[in-house]
Amino acid sequence: MKMISAFKSSFFVAVLAGLLAFPFAGFGLMEYSPSSIATTESQMAAVLGVSNLPVRTSESLGNIDIVHQEDLTLNLSSDTEQKFYNVLPEEYVAGNYEIVVVVPNEVKEQGLTASLTKSDLTYDLVVELSNDELEYRQVDLSLLVISKL
């Protein structure tokens, strides 16, 4: 009788240990999958699709390294000049970097020009509209941070 009670107790302890270990192990039943809100690489506006941009000039700069790409979606208003504040992380303001604003051709042909202004701690984007076609629209553009060699 004592033997059966010992087997029952040890079986009960083994089942409890398995149940306690299940959340830690998971047995591959649960897996992280990104939410549908997160954008994939195919949905991102890939400007160049490369990390090194070969430059062929008379000065023969060689390859410049693209350190960071910031993709922006701007909600435009009816103002002819609009300013978007703090468009790049602070780490790229103090470093030895060159910033390039990439505007899609179809938006540029509709009369949008974009330029950066630098203050002590941030870069601000100044957008100018030359006609009314782009008022109250969303515009995608990119900022490329290029390291100066």
User: Does residue 141 surpass a pLDDT of 70?
Assistant: yes
Give the pTM. Answer: 0.57
Q: Which of 16-20, 82-86, 145-149 has the highest mean pLDDT?
A: 82-86
Query: Which of 118, 148, 142 lies closest to 69, judged by CA?
Result: 142
Q: Strand pairing partners for 70? A: 143
pLDDT category at 23 given cuts 50, 70, 90 is: low
pLDDT category at 114 given cuts 50, 70, 90 is: very high
**What is the model's pLDDT at position 124?**
92
User: Does residue 1 surpass a pLDDT of 80?
Assistant: no
* % of the chain beyond a pLDDT of 90: 20
